[in-house]
Chains A and B, each alone.
Chain A
């Protein structure tokens, strides 16, 4: 009797030990990712500066170059996660993945003024989107990244006005409205994503206020803002 009991505990101890090892290695890999992500974030903060708004194309180029490192680091992380156990350890890289989705989305938005697709984010990060292919880009993480983008853009709208550029707020307003439309199609349940989505309306409100301020003062650029080429 005692024999079988101790066997059971021994095998569970082995299980615990191996899990511990997995977690440690994953943590190391995630730490590298976080470091690079912070670098990109710092880089992109330049757009809020008075002078930085004119250097957007260069900033985007630099940011894109950094994603090569990210891709490598995701490959490392990928190799640490046992097959079929993505969601067992998901919490470790959830946050950094969300932030990276946001950074990709921001870069693409600044360059092309459109919402980045999930496939494209996955490609930039060196991941796939199909769940059954192992390490993939989770839909929740992608959507959270987009919501972070809305938050950042509402800030950018304010700062671009301060910097004397009046065309960005109009474009951002149209963009965030469209994104809001998209998110309202989802039937979210009461989780983190829903909480972040609930904050989207405040971002939208902020951007609309900026647009309002511009229009009552006659500062709105003439012509349809959506059709205007990028004015630096």
Chain B
């Protein structure tokens, strides 16, 4: 088990080399299985204009599909790492560990933006962003969730999209600049800047996910005998929920689904606060914790359209 973290890290730094290998080896071997390469070559009369035309299309499509595939992989890495950061942040129990864990999470977030997210940004340079958006959008949402959760714990406020963007601006490295120069000479001599954009929708969906984490944090807090935090969280969650309600159906189906989940989180937290208020004076806090291990009664599941 201890080796698992290590191997993951190794893969993380080697990815640059893996990629080229994957493209050359893995893909073409798949095709060979389906259709022997040399046989196919023999069938086709290369002099036909149609064949020449489609050869060019083949190159273009392969490039597009390969890039998409690479972005899916990178997106998945971002998801995994973000989830780990969130779990790490949930481990904060006492105030004296808070700073240590926050520092660790901060470092992990930095690494994420410096390596994996940077690679995504590099892949997307000069490409149509929206063409590949679906490949890495879940990863980005998870990243937003991790960042917003981190900042909420740290400063107690909701980090804005612009603030997140600040961590995603990259300066071109020397070797990259060189290859760029080869393509278009004398266009940019100072190191160019590039960045990873996050769409407002991905940001909002990430924020919606954040509320689920806050709900868990709230329940954990009660378990640890902290009877003030649930009220703070409850206020915040209510604010967020009210905000989301304002969008109605204009933001898409995915959003509606998440808002519904968000509503349930809000209910849970509100019930927790209620229980604290009503029973708090009657029993010791360690018993109060047991109250929340039993499932909440969900008598009225409001029928939302």
Q: Which residues of A contact B (CB under 8 A)?
A: 1-2, 4-9, 11-13, 15-16, 20, 84-88, 90, 115, 117-118, 131-132, 139, 143, 178-179, 181-189
Contacts and interface: CB of A to CB of B under 8 A. Distances in A.
Interface stretch (B10-18, B73-81, B128-136): B128-136
A81 B212 CA distance: 36
Size class of the B contact interface (CB-based, 8 Å): 35 or more
A5 B57 contact: no
Given A16-B251, A182-B51, A84 B129 contact: yes
A84 B207 CA distance: 26
A187 B62 contact: yes
Interface of B: 31, 40, 44, 48-51, 53-55, 57-58, 60-62, 64-65, 126-131, 133, 156-158, 160-161, 200-201, 203-204, 207, 235-236, 239-240, 243-244, 246-247, 250-251
Contacts of A6: 239, 243
Contact of B61 (A4, A87, A187): A187
A178 B57 contact: no
A110 to B, nearest CB: 18
Given A8-B158, A84-B129, A182-B51, A187 B31 contact: yes
Contacts of B244: 9
A117 B130 contact: no
B130 A12 contact: no
B246 A186 contact: no
A139 B57 contact: yes
Given A2-B239, A139-B57, 9 more contacts: A1-B156, A2-B235, A4-B160, A6-B243, A11-B161, A13-B247, A186-B54, A187-B61, A189-B65
Contacts of B246: 9, 13
A66 B12 CA distance: 56
Contact of A5 (B53, B60, B62, B239): B239
6 contacts: A1-B239, A87-B130, A117-B53, A131-B128, A185-B51, A188-B61
Contacts of A8: 158, 160-161, 207, 243
Given A4-B160, A8-B207, A9-B246, A115 B58 contact: no
A229 B135 CA distance: 50
A176 to B, nearest CB: 11
A95 to B, nearest CB: 17
Contacts of B160: 4, 7-8, 11
A131 B250 CA distance: 30
Contact of B50 (A88, A118, A179): A179
Nearest to A6: B243
A2 to B, nearest CB: 5
Contact of A88 (B65, B130, B251): B130
Contacts of B130: 85-88, 90
Given A87-B128, A185-B58, A189-B65, A9 B53 contact: no
A178 B158 contact: no
Contact of B55 (A1, A5, A183, A185): A185
A5 B158 contact: yes
Contact of A12 (B54, B64, B247): B247
A17 to B, nearest CB: 8
